[in-house]
Structure 1
Amino acid sequence: MRDGRGHYKVFLGMAAGVGKTVRMLQEGRAELEAGRDVVVGLLETHGRAATLAAADGLEILPRRRVDYRATELEEMDLPAILRRAPELCLIDELAHTNAPGLEHRKRYEDIEDALNAGVDVLSTVNVQHLESLNDMVAELSGITVRETVPDSVLKRADEIVIADLTPEELLERLRAGKVYPAERIEAALNGFFRIENLRALRETALRQVAEEVGAQRIEVDPVLGTRDDRVLDEARVAVGERLLALVRPVPSAQRLVRRAWRSAQRLGADLDVLWVKAPGRAATEDEERGLGALRQLCSVLGCRMLVEDGDDVVEVAARVARERSATYLLVGESMRSGGLARWRTPLPQRLMRAAPGVDVRIVADRSRRMEETR
Structure 2
Amino acid sequence: MYESSAPLTNSLYPRSAKRGKHKIFIGMAPGVGKTYRMLEEGHCLRQEGIDVVVGLLETHKREETAAKAQGLELLPRKQVECSGITLTEMDTDAVIARQPQLALVDELAHTNVPGSEREKRYQDVEQILAAGIDVFSTVNIQHLESLNDLVARITGVVVRERIPDRLLEEADEVVVVDVTPETLQERLTDGKIYAPEKIDQALQNFFQRRHLIALRELALREIADNIEEDGIVADANTPTNASYCNIHERVLVCVSTYPNALQLIRRGARIAGYMHAPVYCLFVDNPDRFLTREESLHIETCERLCKEFGGEFVRVKDHDVAAAIANT
TM range (shorter): 0.5 to 0.7
Aligned pair partner of 2:203 in 184, 189, 193: 189
Counterpart in 1 of 2:75? 61
Equivalent in the alignment of 1:8: 22
User: What corresponds to 2:149 in structure 1?
Assistant: 135
Aligned residues: 219
Match of 2:217 among 189, 196, 203: 203
Report the CA distance between 1:102 and its aligned residue. 2.1
Higher relative contact order, structure no. (Cα contacts within 8 Å, ≥ 6 residues apart): 2
**2:142 is the counterpart of 1:119:** no
The amino acid that maps onto 2:182 is E
Q: Aligned residue for 1:42?
A: 56
1:41–1:89 contact (8 Å) kept in structure 2: yes
Deviation at 1:214, TM superposition (A): 3.5
Shift of 1:212: 3.2
Contact 1:154 1:213 in 2 (8 A): no
**Uncovered stretches (5+) of structure 2, i.e. residues with no partner:** 1-14, 232-273, 276-328
Partners of 2:112 and 2:185 in 1: how far apart?
30
Across the aligned residues of Structure 1 and Structure 2, the Cα RMSD in angstroms comes to 1.7
Shift of 1:2: 4.3
How far apart are the structure 1 equivalents of 2:169 and 2:159?
Answer: 21
Name the counterpart of 2:124: 110
The 3 A distance-change label for structure 1 pair 113 and 125 is same
Deviation for aligned residue 1:60? 0.2
Q: In 2, Cα distance between the equivalents of 1:18 and 1:215?
A: 26
Structure 1 unaligned residues grouped into runs of 5+ = 218-266, 269-374
Matched residue SS, 2:177: strand
Amino acid across the alignment from 2:219: A
Q: Give the alignment of 1:116-265 within 5 angstroms.
A: 116-214=130-228
Query: By how many angstroms is 1:141 displaced?
Result: 1.1
Larger Cα-atom Rg = 1
Per-residue CA deviation, residues 62-89 of structure 1 (Å, 9 max, x unaligned), is 0011010112111000010010010000
Question: Is the CA contact (8 Å cut-off) linking 2:81 and 2:115 kept in structure 1?
Answer: no
Give the whole-Å Cα distance in 1 for the aligned partners of 2:89 and 2:119: 12
SS for the counterpart of 2:212 is helix
- 1:88 is aligned, of 102, 105, 108, to 102
State the TM-score, normalizing by the size of structure 1: 0.57
Q: Distance in 2 between matches of 1:150 and 1:81?
A: 23
Shift of 1:163: 0.5
Letter in 1 for 2:42: G
The one-letter amino acid of 1:137's match is V
- Counterpart mapping for 1:350-365 below 5 A: none
Q: Out of 83, 87, 91, which is 1:77 matched to?
A: 91
What one-letter code is carried by the residue in structure 1 that aligns with 2:123?
Answer: E
Q: Helix, strand or coil for the counterpart of 1:118?
A: coil
Q: Distance between the aligned counterparts of 2:97 and 2:81, measured in 1?
A: 23
Structure 1 residue 111, shift from structure 2 partner: 0.6
Give the TM-score of the pair, scaled to structure 2.
0.65
